[in-house]
Structure 1
């Protein structure tokens, strides 16, 4: 007989929406600016009003607790109000990539069984394709019909959710095909704030956060919404997708963020632009995630703009960054060490810890782990093993705990009986002055032997020479690791969060 005491309902009571917004108003911070968007300011009191209006609108059309509300929305005040308004009534906001084709969005939304869709008016042209794929949608709200939707006199009070109540669903990044829906609770956000945001970033109410990564993804959601709102800080939103270096520079110089969240490929683009060297003078720390940050990109950005970039790794399944370099301990070319509050292991296929500096799969333990994938039982069992979550990333771990990324498990190449890390080869190529970006995949030759090949984007004003790169790699890489040929391209296929879709390159 199990006699372990369980926490009472009162002890479990927690609503993410009220924690992020109401408590600031109740504690006298209602006039603090929560959002800067399009040159306009919105205080926490303004945001609470928006959120309550969305809550009443959703109740008026019959949305009940734990029903899904699909969101196809660009970063905006309406995005935040919809996300928090749905959480407020105990419903489950489903965040999707608004730039996906309507047919793909229809498949995702149909998978979620959502009856309600909220969509930015800029994406309304995709509605017919979405509805063709998601026949259960009964209500569509567009951001240009906001006034009518939020005019209901229904009750805007918060629903009595618990810390482990179903909260929101996120789509996995789609680096290998159709996304899965990772299910997070109301309490998962607080776990990421208490760990990474507090203990690595040291975020305070005085910070101003600006993220190149969009809010529909786990990384951008923390950067632009949950971290600043949890701290009572300010967020800077920009709906334009994809952003350009000049647009980002204009926002940074005008809005003066103190925390700047980005991805490696865009950091490289900023470094190779003609922006003034003092563009990021207001920024106390930069953050990079989504892909591994090459040491060369870290060094170039620091030398050019004077800002230290804290590289880390997070995932949709774990919600935000769980391994990171820190202000006091950063080692370029590594992903850092486990964030306080998380535990990292590097294991072999049988789940045994590997020796220092030996490759293995990274598995993580932490309170922000998703409860599983919606209607994907086999995949849930393969990823979530008790308290541990398999990341699918291959790493080595140094004796002092620094983790170095090798690639995704299915990206590693077996060449001549030896393992090749695409990340290592890509990092070597990026060190060459003519290379802006690189992606390495395997290709079978006429003898059915896998050989590395590299897709390369030239740096601005530079010309890539195959023979130069061959000589460059000869001095730095073992023979089996060197690319056997180069494809010079103008862009690489990526997810909206900057992850390279290598499966498309393999085709």
Structure 2
């Protein structure tokens, strides 16, 4: 029999038992919760879910804003031994209905602002729908923690991955403790005095680690912000709550750097973190030089629950993802499966670590492709640098072959982002009149700047091999992105555009 372990107890009651009951755990839009208050509230919400008939290992689906109700409901579900399934609040009713059906959820929780979507998404198999306006009717007498163990299911996170179809990555209670003890403790160095603020929301693996797992594991505080992130809003939260750890994605760091905020806007932030996509070197140096914040860029995944390769404090290699996080192994493999041991040869990134999910729910064919023994195929192309750091070349299906030579979009994007007029850039392959892929750049100008496409192509030619230059530059007001800030490259590829050279 495995060790008894409940992640919700680990994150709440354990802190109270260790003397942190009076410490602030959560800042939310309507107030705060101490660790003692959080533990009590989680037990009451768990009691309400039990009264609705939620059973161990049963899924509870949540489509909710980043507020105290979602925060406590996730913990309450795990406390009961049930499985929390937080979902993107940006899904349409049709998209959400797929997840409701796939998860077999009988209980769905939703925020009032998403009521129309939630109610349109549920079918007759759903027995209870509870919105935040009905929260008082949900809370009940405290329910005891269910005696789960390391291997018990705790959390499902849906990801589209490389197939474009949502898949539920199934995580154990032990996975939560593992990411806290590896990345949280040994890389981030989080401590009880830290205050965390995350651009990524709780329904995202990156966000739930930033805003729940890491701070609660050590008795730190978290600031929940349900609104859409914007530089001025986040800067105001930093000042108000004394934020020390700021977690974001490149699509936030770029606009922050281009904003007119004062240079002391992030005073008190001792460390920034970036994930989701590669952080361009320009953004790292720009944020460091202007705001005095060192950003630790890294790569993680829904399947691994959080970051497994990261830069280290005081030893950042700009433009790279850094080095393997303690507790994880990485390999770069060739198409024939052989392992690359040298440097500067690109290969597919495979990882191994105890936080990797047990698989995708009811996706046998995909499971056999992605999970092989202790190893997981990430779908990312990487290269190992002479200093041992690892640099992302993009998703395997993003790499272009131009004139018979492989071109990594990330390399071209990095050069474009060095141009002073450019705030954001994405390079995708677009077929020319002969059906051959050519690199095309979609760029967002900085506020008040004008991008001259011909001049930008010349700028790229001056800093890159000629064949890597974009054959066309398209200026856009914004890039299509997911709810977590990742650029939807496929939508750019689908745009009608003719490339003649």
The normalised TM-score by structure 2 is 0.97
Once the two structures are superposed, what CA deviation does each residue of 1:445-488 show, in whole Å capped at 9, x if it has no partner? Answer: 11111111111111111001011101101111112211111111
Q: Which residues in structure 2 correspond to 1:213-232 (within 5 Å)?
A: 213-232=200-219
1:158 pairs with one of 145, 160, 164:
145
Q: Which residues in structure 2 correspond to 1:446-461 (within 5 Å)?
A: 446-461=433-448
Once the two structures are superposed, what CA deviation does each residue of 1:20-49 show, in whole Å capped at 9, x if it has no partner? Answer: 001111222111100011262210111111
Partner of 2:42 in structure 1?
51
1:316 pairs with one of 295, 299, 302:
302
2:138 pairs with one of 149, 153, 160:
149
Matched, 1:137 2:126: yes
3-state SS of 1:357 partner: coil
Aligned residues of 1:34 and 1:42 also touching (Cα < 8 A): yes
The normalised TM-score by structure 1 is 0.95
Aligned residues of 1:383 and 1:389 also touching (Cα < 8 A): yes
Structure 1 residues 343, 395: CA separation in 2 closer, same or farther (over 3 Å shift)?
same
Once the two structures are superposed, what CA deviation does each residue of 1:255-293 show, in whole Å capped at 9, x if it has no partner? Answer: 111111010111010111111110111111000000100
3-state SS of 2:120 partner: helix
3-state SS of 2:12 partner: helix
Stretches of structure 2 that go unaligned for 5 or more consecutive residues are 495-501
Partner of 2:491 in structure 1?
504
Aligned residues of 2:457 and 2:473 also touching (Cα < 8 A): no
1:372 pairs with one of 359, 363, 370:
359
3-state SS of 2:444 partner: strand
Q: C-alpha separation between the residues in 1 aligned to 2:160 and 2:194? A: 28
Once the two structures are superposed, what CA deviation does each residue of 1:55-99 show, in whole Å capped at 9, x if it has no partner? Answer: 111111111100000000111111111001000111001110012
3-state SS of 2:377 partner: strand
Aligned residues of 1:265 and 1:437 also touching (Cα < 8 A): yes
Q: What RMSD in Å do the two structures reach over aligned CA positions?
A: 1.2
Partner of 2:18 in structure 1?
27
Partner of 1:183 in structure 2?
170
2:57 pairs with one of 37, 61, 66:
66
Stretches of structure 1 that go unaligned for 5 or more consecutive residues are 1-7
Structure 1 residues 473, 176: CA separation in 2 closer, same or farther (over 3 Å shift)?
farther
Q: Number of residue pairs matched? A: 493
3-state SS of 1:364 partner: strand
Q: Which residues in structure 2 correspond to 1:292-307 (within 5 Å)?
A: 292-307=278-293
Aligned residues of 1:344 and 1:364 also touching (Cα < 8 A): yes
Q: C-alpha separation between the residues in 2 aligned to 1:418 and 1:137? A: 52
Partner of 1:119 in structure 2?
110
3-state SS of 1:313 partner: strand
Partner of 1:269 in structure 2?
255
Deviation at 1:349, TM superposition (A): 1.5
Aligned residues of 1:175 and 1:500 also touching (Cα < 8 A): no
Deviation at 1:437, TM superposition (A): 0.5
Deviation at 1:175, TM superposition (A): 7.0
1:286 pairs with one of 267, 272, 284:
272
Aligned residues of 2:453 and 2:474 also touching (Cα < 8 A): no
Of 166-175 and 206-215, deviating more is 166-175
2:74 pairs with one of 83, 107, 116:
83
Aligned residues of 2:96 and 2:118 also touching (Cα < 8 A): no
Q: C-alpha separation between the residues in 2 aligned to 1:345 and 1:78? A: 40
3-state SS of 1:399 partner: coil
